[in-house]
Structure 1
Amino acid sequence: MRNKILSLILSVAMVTTMLVGCGEGSTTDKSTVSDSAQTADSANVNGKKSAKGKTVGLAMPTQSSERWISDCANMKEQFEKQGYKVIAQFAEDDVQNQVSQVENMIAQNVDCLVIAAVDSSALVNVEKQAKDAGIPIIAYDRLLMDTDAVSYYATFDNKGVGVAIGKYIEEKKDLKVAQKEGKSYTIEFFMGSPDDNNALFLYNGIMEVLEGYLKDGTLVCKSGRTSFDDTCILRWSQDTAQANCENYLTGFYAKEKLDIVCSAFDGFSYGCKSALEGAGYSVGKDWPLITGQDADLMAVKNIISGYQTMSIYKDTRLLAEKCVKMVQAVLEGKEPEINDTNQYNNGVKTVPSYLCTPVPVDKDNYKKVIVDSGYYTEEQLSK
């Protein structure tokens, strides 16, 4: 009998000890237990951990362009709303700086990398480091070349941007009529950086529309610089665009006016504006048609004042949203939304992509497209 009582006492003691151990540092409130169970359930969907609370590294090219500042801010805001931690860094167009920043993010064990590259082909080694560490990579707006480490690509339809610029020139200068009547217009080209894969896509889109007019003389490029190699501008440099434009105006347009500045970037358009003003051109008199891309705040102001004719509006809020959803899907073990599986071969693999649609904006539609959508306010544009 004594042994039975002793055994009963020991059993009660063991159960009590187990209960105290389980409750240490926690609460036994029913709602907490329920919440914990729900958290555990939501954290394991088909055996995959939830992306909530994870860290995303944003490697951006530069803060010298308003566009990249907006992209980073949009993504950071949307990621943080979803519960992610964000490490965001700008490389200031320095390749080695970006390599070091990405290496640092890998060392901090980020769960996913979003990279908008300074040089699309210069990150191969650090991308391999990420892959070896099990960190997925999303290419943001600039395709990462020569690597199998990139999982997906979020961008705008870059060839579509070029086609839109080409068609705008075709329509505004009525090139089909000019072709029939034997009229011609002078044109010079300012294309994107050779280390950015998007730049070639954009150039090809422009030439898809304009090449025939160059061949039959409807469009005349007096500098003779029409190939991508002859017109590309390293690192999208505004200063180089201005210097090139100044040289063209001095060397080829002393006696004849330049009619069209085919610019692939708003920054180039600013440089060309300065060159044209220096050469004595004036708005309303002999100012050429000037294109652009990104619809920066200054570009839209220039469109309103007549210093720039058009730009390509790329709603970075939408691109950021698509990228955030892409990262979420990857970290949750799901398939992200994709609408292109053919165009973007990086030399190693064809990268599944989501392409957002670009929209041309000018003086006639900027209010409807940009102001009404809340991208900029009338107050911002009037300052």
Structure 2
Amino acid sequence: MKKILLAVLGLALTAALAACGGGASGSGGSGTIGILMPSTTNARWQIEANQMSATLKERGYDTSVQFANDDAPTQVSQLEDMVTKGVKALIVVAVDGKALGGPLADAKASNIPVVAYTRLLQKTDAADFYTTFDYKKYGALSGTAILQRLGIQDKDGKDTGNKGPFNIEIVNGSPTDSVAYDMWEGYRATIQPYVDNGTLRVLSGQTTFDQSATLNWNPETAQKRMENIVTKTYSGGAKLDAVWVPYDGLTRGVISALTGSGFSPGSDRWPLLTGGDAEVDSVKAILAGQQYSTVYLDYKALAKGTADLVADKLEGKGFPKADTEYDNGTTKVPAKLFDLSLVRKDDVKPVLVDRGFYTADQIGLK
């Protein structure tokens, strides 16, 4: 009888320990989630990886986070290694959305759920879900900001009859990133009609995506290109009125090019500069009058929301109802879209500080 009682107690203790293995939240989750990020050069990727890891830990999961230094072959190897080790799920921000087909196919064969994060995974049927922002709207917000600030449109988006002409240049994102093409569609929807009718002129002649693309979103590449444009096109007295730029890191490269070429912020020659991601240094640049606008992405909410939906999927709840679908060239991937908004100087406090994204001290707001 003692042996039977001890055996029963042992089984009960084993069951209790197993129940505790689900983590602090008691959700029952276990195992490792693979998180693949492109680099550490953009500050948001580290922040988002940390947020995902914290959220998944609360749900009972471990995480394996890898940064690829913006090198596609490195990311391929990292992904292969995670699949081999049998991670429970994958969250992937691709360096090159078309380069991961092989290991993604292996993940699918191993029944590992794959979530494309921010950037669409292309030419694959292995992407189960996509979490992102509406980047067409993102690009359009920057375009509209320029049109309204130059007086081409009023605050309601209606034409004012102002024909300029105004001179504008374009700095696009990386050709390896699907997001950059979505932003470009936002540009085309807002700015391109005014280029076509002559209200806006691109004096450099670099009007296509390929001519204005910036590989891997590299600020130094954007700086060098803008230096060349200024030297060849604007050194003779032509006024540069605006530069459409979709990401704050590239904007900082443009600012360096302009200041190095003798342009002074606040002067009549200083152009309107847009940006995106609301990075700390660029918010400070907006407050200082160097940059006109950025686009606020609540990427902390995106990271937490993505981590939670992956945990929900693993715990049998499935993915949430999609807001839309994206065609990746092989299949249509269901997607959930998170919020974004334009930020100019007067928007910094209500949008970024009052919502708790930054403190006033972080951005030097008095």
| 1:131 corresponds to 2:108 | yes
**Residue matched to 2:49:** 72
The Cα shift of 1:276 comes to: 0.4
Q: Distance in 1 between matches of 2:28 and 2:106?
A: 22
Contact 1:51 1:84 in 2 (8 A): no
Q: 2:278 aligns with which of 279, 295, 319?
A: 295
The Cα shift of 1:283 comes to: 1.4
Greater shift, 76-85 or 17-26, is seen at 17-26
Report the CA distance shift for 1:88/1:36 in structure 2 as closer, same or farther (over 3 A). closer
**Residue matched to 1:281:** 263
The Cα shift of 1:284 comes to: 1.4
| 1:117 corresponds to 2:117 | no
Q: Distance in 1 between matches of 2:281 and 2:113?
A: 36
Contact 2:276 2:296 in 1 (8 A): yes
**Residue matched to 2:7:** 21
- What letter matches 1:337 in structure 2? P
Q: Which runs of 5+ in 1 are unaligned?
A: 1-14, 44-49
**Residue matched to 1:347:** 329
Q: Distance in 2 between matches of 1:225 and 1:179?
A: 27
The Cα shift of 1:173 comes to: 1.1
The Cα shift of 1:180 comes to: 2.2
Q: Percent identity?
A: 37
Correspondences of 1:187-206 after superposition (within 5 Å)? 187-206=168-187
Q: 1:152 aligns with which of 129, 141, 145?
A: 129
| 1:312 corresponds to 2:295 | yes
Taking structure 1 as the reference length, the TM-score comes to 0.87
SS of the counterpart of 1:261?
A: strand
RMSD over aligned Cα atoms:
2.2
Correspondences of 1:1-383 after superposition (within 5 Å)? 17-24=3-10, 27=13, 39=19, 52-176=29-153, 180-254=161-235, 255-285=237-267, 286-342=269-325, 344-382=326-364
Larger radius of gyration between Structure 1 and Structure 2: 1
Taking structure 2 as the reference length, the TM-score comes to 0.91
Q: CA deviation digits over 1:9-46, x for unaligned, max 9?
A: xxxxxx6544443444764xxxx97x689x49x99xxx
Aligned length: 355
Q: Distance in 1 between matches of 2:162 and 2:149?
A: 16
Q: Distance in 2 between matches of 1:308 and 1:223?
A: 21
Contact 1:159 1:201 in 2 (8 A): yes
Q: Which runs of 5+ in 2 are unaligned?
A: none
- What letter matches 2:243 in structure 1? V
The Cα shift of 1:352 comes to: 0.4
Contact 2:141 2:342 in 1 (8 A): yes
SS of the counterpart of 2:57?
A: helix
Contact 2:266 2:290 in 1 (8 A): no
Contact 1:179 1:213 in 2 (8 A): no
The Cα shift of 1:338 comes to: 3.5
SS of the counterpart of 1:365?
A: helix
Q: Distance in 2 between matches of 1:341 and 1:258?
A: 38
Contact 2:59 2:311 in 1 (8 A): no
Contact 1:51 1:331 in 2 (8 A): no
Q: Distance in 1 between matches of 2:116 and 2:313?
A: 13
Contact 1:295 1:312 in 2 (8 A): yes
Contact 1:51 1:328 in 2 (8 A): no
Q: Distance in 2 between matches of 1:366 and 1:115?
A: 31
- What letter matches 1:322 in structure 2? G
Contact 2:151 2:162 in 1 (8 A): no
The Cα shift of 1:355 comes to: 0.7
**Residue matched to 1:46:** none
Q: Distance in 1 between matches of 2:52 and 2:193?
A: 40
SS of the counterpart of 2:63?
A: strand
Report the CA distance shift for 1:156/1:56 in structure 2 as closer, same or farther (over 3 A). same
SS of the counterpart of 2:332?
A: coil
Contact 1:59 1:88 in 2 (8 A): yes
Q: Distance in 2 between matches of 1:21 and 1:325?
A: 38
SS of the counterpart of 1:79?
A: helix
